[in-house]
Amino acid sequence: MSGTATRSTYRHRLPVRIMHWINVACLFILLMSGLQIFNAHPALYWGNISTFDKPAMSLTARTGADGKLRGQTQVGNLRFDTTGVLGVSKNMAGEDSRRGFPMWATIPGPRNLAEGRRWHFFFAWVFVINGLAYLLWSWRARHLRDDLAPTRSDWRGIGQSLRDHLRFRHPTGVEATRYNVLQKLAYLAVIFIFLPGIVLMGLAMSPQLDSVLGWMVDMVGGRQSARTWHFVIAVALVAFVAVHVFMVLVSGPVNQIRSMITGRYRIPEEPAPPEGADHVGK
């Protein structure tokens, strides 16, 4: 497209850009501080109590026949050797140590449950307040209805949109400034299912909220089930972010990131019709 004339159009409004980057910072810190908390007991269970002999998932370390630690990830009845990443990874001294997730994936320190919880709870509230502000602004600005609600045309074209994504074909021109139906559905699922779900499951893990959320704890199968759902939704959000970043990279990262910083998005100029073209065929 070198030498092709382009024009700038306004794509993302200022409140969307500000709240987007707040979410980026919060989710990054919440993920890494959450892994720090998880490392205090790297196992998940279903039910209301911890059935230590039958975890749904665990990251453990065992001593191998050679006398060295081996990391083992267990999911249901499946077991995988994950030495060097999960179960066993290098500590600050460069030695193998028992550790659920590696040190580089956790904050604020290599092993500090209390600080991890403080960071997690603080940024969780920032995240919740930012989310409520987004919903309020979206309602006032009709952002959800005008920009994210799928239209009849969107539903009719969902098959084609899916095929285009699988072939890495991306809209160009003015079409690139609007969300396609798969983007709309993904964002709506994140906004109204995953994000509220992970917050509610986080709250459900607190015994202090039994009088308020006891019904929800029972509905998901118990406090340990709530912890497992919290983890599962976090994994789903990581997958969403990975796909989101990948799509940004393959669809023009400079233009995409610039639009989320400045609001301006560049699209090719449509060539003017040749003189007399309106008489052709008449």
Q: Which residue has the higher pLDDT, 126 or 67?
A: 126
| C-alpha span between 108 and 120 (Å, rounded) | 10
Structure tokens belonging to residue 210:
């039994």
Q: Report residue 132 as tokens.
A: 């409520």
Q: Is-cis flag, bond preceding 108, omega within 30?
A: yes
Per-residue confidence (pLDDT) for residue 275, from 0 to 100: 58
Q: What is the pLDDT of residues 120-129, one digit of tens each?
A: 999 999 999 9
What confidence category does residue 139 fall into, taking pLDDT thresholds of 50, 70 and 90? very high
SS3 62: strand
Please give the pLDDT value at position 3.
Answer: 55
CA distance 204 to 210: 8
Q: What tokens appear for 13 in the block? A: 């409004």
Cα–Cα distance measured from residue 55 to residue 48, given in angstroms and rounded to the nearest whole number: 12
Q: What is the pLDDT of residues 151-206, one digit of tens each?
A: 999 899 899 888 988 888 877 777 777 888 999 999 999 999 999 999 999 999 88
Find out whether 1 and 105 touch, Cβ atoms under 8 Å.
no
Give me the CATH topology for the region 8-39+106-268: Fumarate Reductase Cytochrome B subunit (1.20.950)
Chain-centre distance of CA 11, in angstroms?
Answer: 22
What sign does the dihedral 206-210-211-216 (CA atoms) show? Answer: positive
The token pair that represents 138 in the structure block: 């979206």
Highest mean pLDDT among 19-28, 250-259, 265-274: 19-28
Q: Model's pTM, two decimal places?
A: 0.87
Mean pLDDT of the chain: 88
- Indicate the pLDDT class of residue 50, thresholds 50, 70 and 90: confident
Task: Say which residue, 226 or 252, is predicted with more confidence.
Answer: 226
Question: Which comes out higher in pLDDT, residue 279 or 130?
Answer: 130
Candidates 44, 7, 11, 15; CA nearest to 178 is: 11
Residue with tokens 């909220």: 209
What share of the chain has pLDDT > 70, as a percent?
94
SS3 content of the chain, % helix, strand, coil (to 5): 55, 15, 30
Instruction: Please report, rounded to a whole number, the percentage of residues in the chain having pLDDT higher than 90.
Output: 59
Q: What are the structural domain ranges in the chain?
A: 8-39+106-268, 50-102
Q: Find out whether 107 and 28 touch, Cβ atoms under 8 Å.
A: no
pLDDT band at 131 (very low <50, low <70, confident <90, very high): very high
